[in-house]
Structure 1
Amino acid sequence: MKNFRYLLFFLLLTSCKDSVLDEKPLAFLNPDVVLVDKAGFETAITGLHSAARDELFGTDTENLHAMNIGTDAYQSGAVSTLLRDYNISLTPTLFSVDYWWEWAYLKMIPRANIVIEYADKPAAKWASDAEKNAIVAEARFFRAYTYNILVNLYGDVPLVDKVQTTPKTDYTRAPRKDLLDFARQDLEFASQWLPKTPAAPGRITKAAADHVLTEIYLALGDNDKAIQSATAVIGDGIHKLMTERFGSKTGLPGDVFSDLFRDKNQNLAANTETIWAIQFEYQTPGGVAYSNATNPTAFGGNSSMRAWGAAYHNIKDPDGKSGMVVCDSLGRPVGWVMGTPYASYDVWKEDWNDMRNSQYNMRRNFYYNNPTSAYFLKKVDPVAAKIDTLNSGWYYPYTRKLEGDPLAGNTAGRTFVDFYKIRLAETYLLRAEAYIRKGDAQKAADDLNVLRARARAKPVTAAKATLDYILDERVRELIMEEPRRRTLVRFGYLAGSNVLVDRVKKYNPKTGTAIDAKHELFPIPQKFIDANLDVKISQNPGY
C-alpha cells in the first residue's frame, strides 16, 4: 500500500506538467478543414449516399419494409405484427415512426445543408462555378428527396434549410405545400446542374432530379410541368426501356424483365433503364449498409430476400417430416412481408401471361429439396402439407426481384444485389398519371402500353386508363421497388380523400378492419414533441 501511494503521488506530479496537457491531434476531421476543395466535398457527398442507403437498409428490423406492410398490396407475414392492427402498432413511440424522422433530420438534411452552406464559404476553392454547382446540386437533390418522403409520411414538418450549430428547441411545422415548393426549387436547381451521366455507379444525374421533380409537380397539382419533366427523362437520348435480354444470366432461362434484377446488371452500360440504384459491395469498406461485431459483412447487405421471401425452409412434407432445407438460391428468408391476394393474384387477372408474372419473375411454386424426404423434388402441395398459406409465412407467391447470390452464406438471408430507387419504367407511370389527371386518357394509355408491350401483355384502352389502373400497374411493374404507402398517401392528397385507408379496407384481409382515417399519416414522434421545449408541436389528428 505504501509503494502504491508513492506511485500515485508520482503520477499526480507528472500529470501536472504542461507538456502532458498539450494536445497534438494527429488528425482533425471537421467541415472547416475538409470542405475546402472538390475532393473534400466529394467525401461529404459520399456520406449523403451512405445515409440515402439507410432509408431502407439501415437496420435489421422489420421497419425496413414498413413503407409497404399494411397497405393495399402487402400485409404482415407470419413473424411480423407490424401494422397488422394500426391502432396497436402505429403510435408516436413506434420504432418505425422514429426511424424515418431521425433518418431525415439527423442524417440526410444536416449532411445536405452542410454541403450547400460550406460551398459558398470563402475557404472553399473551386475550379469554376459549374464545378461548385454540380456538388451543390447533388446535395440539393438529396434534401428535396428527403422532404418529399417526410411530407408523405408525416404531413407538415419542420423546414430546416441551414446548418444548426447550437441547440434549438423552438421548431415549428411548415405547411406541406411550402415544403413541396421548397423541394421543387431544390430540384429545379439540381436538374440544371447535375450531369447527364453518372460520375460513378449510383451517383445522381439530371434524370434522377427530373424524375423526382415530376412527382413534386404532381403533388403540387401542376400536371403540365409534370409531363414536361417526365418527358425530359424519357426523351433524353440516354435512358430507354430494356427490351432484349442482357447481362450476367443470359445463358440461363429467363426474360428481359428478370435480367433487370440479376446480380451486377443494375450498373451495366448496356442497362439504359437504370436512373438511380443503391449500391452494395460485399466485403468492401463502405460497401454495406451496416454491420455488427460478430458478423461485419453478413448483416450489411440487401435484406429484401430476408424480408419478402417465404420462409420455405419451415415447410414439412405430408408425412410431417422436414421437407425443405436452406439452399443457396433462395437464402434464408423469414417472411416479414407478404403480398395481399390483390397483389399476388387479382392484378394479374388483367393478363396472367404478362411477362412480369412469368415463372422467372414471380415464384409461385416450391419443390421439396430435402434429400431425406420421401417427397424429394416433388412439387409442394400446400393442401396436402397442411400449410396455412395466409398465416404461416412459409408458402406464398413472391417477386423474384429479391433473389440473388447470397455471398455471405445462405443462412445470412441477404444478398448484395444493387437496389433500384429510380427506374425509367416508373417515369412512364408518372407521366401517364399526369396525363390522366390532365384529362388525356389516350396519352396515358400510350405510356402504359410502352410498359405493357415490353411485358408482352395485352394493351390497355383509353377507357380503362384510370388512376386505379395506374395503381394496379404500379404493383405489376414496381412490386418491392415502390414505397407503396407514400404513393397512396400522395394519391389521397390529390384526391382530397383517404386513398390509403380506403384501399387497405378493400384489399388487405389482415389489416382492413383495423385501420382508421387518422392512420393515413404517421404520428409525429413523441420524443421530438417532448424535446421541442419552447414551442408546442401539435400531434397529427387522432393520435
Structure 2
Amino acid sequence: MKFKHIIYTAAIFGFTMFSCDDYIEEENLSNVDGESFYTTEAGFETLVNANYAQLKDIYGNEPWLFSAGTDLYAEGRDQEPPGLSQYIQLTPSAAGVDQLYTSCYRAIQSANMAIHYGELNTQNSTISQRIGEVRYLRANAYFLLVQTYGGVGLVTEYLDSPILTFDRNSAEEVYSFVISELEMALSAVSGGAFAGRVNKRAVQHLLAKVHLTRAYESFAGSDDFSKAAGYADDAIAGQSLTIPFEELWTPGNEMNAETLFSVQFSEESASTDPTNLGHMQNLFFSSYLGGAEISGDAPYRSYNLCPTQFAISLYDQGDQRWEATFMTQAFERYYDYYDQADHSSLVVAHYYAPKWASSEADLAAYQSLHPQAIIHPYGEYVPSVSRNLDYQTIPVKKFDDPQAPFDGGRTSTRDLILSRLGETYLIAAEAYLQSGNASTALDRLNQVRNRANATPATAAELDIDYILDERARELLGEYHRWFDLKRTGKLVERASLHHYLIEESNFAGANGELKILRPIPQDAIDLNQNKDFPQNPAYQ
C-alpha cells in the first residue's frame, strides 16, 4: 500500500548520517550508485546504521514536544516556546511545532530506503533481522507522529523524487500500521541482552506501549489493554528491578541490565563537532548553574523545564529516587559529586530541603553543620515569576554529563534512554488496572516502589492518577510526560492544576475543540498541492 505524501522537501530527502558508537560508521554517500552499493552487505549495513543515527535528530534537540506544557515542568527564568508550554499561542506556525514532524519523516524516508534496498539484497546473511530493526525504527517514528498530530500520511515506499500532492490517513490506520510493523519486527529481530540494536524485548516494550495508548482511543481494539499487559510481561521476562536507582543513572552506566533500548552516543563520535553532535537532555530541568567563570565546574543549564512544586511534592521520605533524581546538596564545585569519592569534607554551597525536613529546627540544624550553604526551604525552589537567580530551582542530576562541554548546544554524549525495565513494569501496571486486574496491577507497580525503598501502595490507593504520579517519580525528565497525560486524558486537568502559567481556558481552540493534538505544521500544509488536506480542527 502506498500513500502519497510530502513533508518539507528538504527534510524528507535530506538523508543525513552521523556515527553512532561503534556500530555506526560515518561515510560519505554522495555520488554513490544505490543499486551497486546498497545491495552489497557493507552498503546495506551502512543504510541500517544510518537509520539508527536518525534517532539522534528525533530525540537530540530541545525536548519541548516531549515535556513542555505538563504538570511536572515549567519555565524558570528563560521563556519556553509559549505555544507548546502554555497553549495560548499554539498555532500551525508556532515555534517548535514542526520538530517531530520533520525529524520523524526524515527517519521514515531513511527506513523506506533501507527496506527498499534490503528487499533487493541477496548478500547479507542478517538481512531479515536488519529489516526487522528498521521496521521498529519506522514504527517508532509513526507512533510519535500519531500521538502528537493525530492521523498523518502513511509513506511506506522509498521516494526518490518529490511528490507534491498528498492525503492524510486516519489515526486508526496509522495505529494499525504501527502494530503491524512491530509484529513483523518481533518475528525478525534477535533476542538476548540489549547491545545497541533493536532486540525482541525492545519491540515487546514498544508494542505494549502502542496497545496501551490505542486502548484509550475511540477506535481501540477490545483487547488492547490485555495485549499491552501481555507484551509488557513478555518484555519484563521475569527480570526483577535490582539496580539501585542512583546506580541506574550513574554517568557511563547507561548500558546496564535494565536498559531495553537507547539512542547511542559517544565522545568519539561527537569529537568532530562536540557542541552539535550530542544531545540536549542534560541542559534542562534546572536553573542556570553558573557562568563562564566556572566552565568545567558545573553543567550548563537552560533554566527551562524546571520541576514544578507538584513534581517535588510527589516524593516521600525514604524514597531513594529523591536523592538519585535531584542534586539536593550542590557542592562548591558541582562536579565534585562525581569526581570525589569522599564527600564528607566537601563544602555544600546550596541545600534544597525536602518536605520532611523543613521545620525551622531542621533548617537551623542543617545550617549549623554547613555554615556556608545557601538553604532553599521546601516550596521555594520551584519555577515562578520571581525565580531569577542561579541555583533558584532544584537541579535534576540524573542526566548530568561531567564530560560535556560548557555550552548550550547538543553536548551530552551519554546514551539517551528510550525504554527501560522500570517503565515496562509501570506500563504493565496501567494495562492490568485498565483491563480489570487490579491485583496484578498493584504487584507490578509495587515492584517499582520496592526497588526505590518507597512504602508499597495499597489497593485502595491504586487508580490511574496514582499510576501517573508513580510514572512521575520514576521517569522524571525522561521524555514521556506529555504523551502520558495525553494518552490518559489528563492533560488539561493536570497541566492547569500544577503549571503556574496554564489555565483550562488556554486549551480552548477553534470549533469548540481543545488544543490537545498539536497542529500540522503550516509549512507542510503550504507545500501540499492538495488543498483539501485537513488541519486539526482546533486550529482551523
Common fold, TM-score beyond 0.5? yes
* Distance (Å, rounded) in 1 between the aligned partners of 2:95 and 2:435: 39
The change in CA–CA distance for 1:127 and 1:175 in structure 2 (over 3 A counts) is same
Q: Does the 8 Å contact 2:493/2:504 carry over to 1?
A: no
Name the residue aligned to 1:381.
375
Q: Does the 8 Å contact 2:86/2:501 carry over to 1?
A: no
* Distance (Å, rounded) in 1 between the aligned partners of 2:399 and 2:470: 19
* Distance (Å, rounded) in 2 between the aligned partners of 1:79 and 1:337: 10
Name the residue aligned to 1:241.
241
Q: SS state of the match for residue 277, structure 1?
A: strand
User: Of the two, which has the highest radius of gyration?
Assistant: 1
1:363 is aligned to 2:358: no
Q: Does the 8 Å contact 2:282/2:301 carry over to 1?
A: yes
Name the residue aligned to 1:515.
506
Q: Does the 8 Å contact 1:158/1:171 carry over to 2?
A: yes
Q: Does the 8 Å contact 1:362/1:398 carry over to 2?
A: yes
1:427 is aligned to 2:427: no
Identify the range of structure 1 (216-225 vs 457-466) with the bigger mean alpha-carbon deviation: 216-225
Q: CA deviation at 1:99?
A: 1.4
The change in CA–CA distance for 1:393 and 1:234 in structure 2 (over 3 A counts) is farther
The equivalences for 1:5-404 within 5 A come to 28-58=31-61, 63-83=62-82, 86-105=86-105, 107-121=106-120, 124-126=121-123, 128=125, 131-197=126-192, 201-221=195-215, 222-235=224-237, 239-243=239-243, 256-267=244-255, 271-282=256-267, 284-285=268-269, 287=270, 296-313=273-290, 326=294, 328=296, 330-345=298-313, 347-348=314-315, 351-358=316-323, 360-366=324-330, 378-382=372-376, 390=384, 391-392=387-388, 394=390, 395-404=392-401
* Distance (Å, rounded) in 1 between the aligned partners of 2:389 and 2:40: 52
Q: CA deviation at 1:265?
A: 0.8
The change in CA–CA distance for 1:109 and 1:352 in structure 2 (over 3 A counts) is same
Name the residue aligned to 2:14.
none
Q: CA deviation at 1:81?
A: 3.1
Q: CA deviation at 1:34?
A: 2.5
- For residue 151 of structure 2, what is the amino acid of its counterpart? D
Q: CA deviation at 1:152?
A: 0.9
- For structure 1, the residue ranges without an aligned partner over 5 or more in a row are 1-24, 244-255, 315-323, 493-498
* Distance (Å, rounded) in 2 between the aligned partners of 1:402 and 1:393: 22
The equivalences for 1:402-441 within 5 A come to 402-409=399-406, 414-441=411-438
1:530 is aligned to 2:526: yes
Name the residue aligned to 1:503.
494
Q: Deviations over 1:23-60 (max 9, x none)?
A: xx9973243232213322211111111111211214xx
Q: CA deviation at 1:328?
A: 3.7
Q: Deviations over 1:422-458 (max 9, x none)?
A: 1011111111111011111111110011111100000
- For residue 149 of structure 1, what is the amino acid of its counterpart? L
The change in CA–CA distance for 1:153 and 1:447 in structure 2 (over 3 A counts) is same
* Distance (Å, rounded) in 1 between the aligned partners of 2:381 and 2:124: 65
Q: CA deviation at 1:365?
A: 4.1
Name the residue aligned to 2:464.
467
Q: Does the 8 Å contact 1:529/1:537 carry over to 2?
A: yes
Name the residue aligned to 1:21.
none
Q: Does the 8 Å contact 2:309/2:382 carry over to 1?
A: no
Q: SS state of the match for residue 520, structure 1?
A: coil
The change in CA–CA distance for 1:412 and 1:165 in structure 2 (over 3 A counts) is closer
The change in CA–CA distance for 1:127 and 1:440 in structure 2 (over 3 A counts) is same
Q: Deviations over 1:391-418 (max 9, x none)?
A: 3263112321121213435887943222
Q: CA deviation at 1:191?
A: 1.0
TM-score normalised per structure 2: 0.79
RMSD between aligned alpha carbons? 2.9
* Distance (Å, rounded) in 2 between the aligned partners of 1:410 and 1:491: 37
Q: SS state of the match for residue 462, structure 1?
A: coil
* Distance (Å, rounded) in 2 between the aligned partners of 1:458 and 1:387: 26
- For residue 331 of structure 1, what is the amino acid of its counterpart? P
* Distance (Å, rounded) in 2 between the aligned partners of 1:412 and 1:86: 24
The change in CA–CA distance for 1:396 and 1:274 in structure 2 (over 3 A counts) is same
* Distance (Å, rounded) in 1 between the aligned partners of 2:95 and 2:409: 23
What number of residue pairs does the alignment pair up?
Answer: 461
The change in CA–CA distance for 1:27 and 1:233 in structure 2 (over 3 A counts) is closer
Q: Deviations over 1:308-353 (max 9, x none)?
A: 2321327xxxxxxxxx9636453121212111111122x12xx332
- For residue 229 of structure 2, what is the amino acid of its counterpart? I
The change in CA–CA distance for 1:514 and 1:79 in structure 2 (over 3 A counts) is farther
Q: Does the 8 Å contact 1:148/1:183 carry over to 2?
A: yes
Q: CA deviation at 1:278?
A: 1.6
Identify the range of structure 1 (64-73 vs 300-309) with the bigger mean alpha-carbon deviation: 300-309
TM-score normalised per structure 1: 0.78
Q: Does the 8 Å contact 1:329/1:403 carry over to 2?
A: no
Name the residue aligned to 2:342.
none
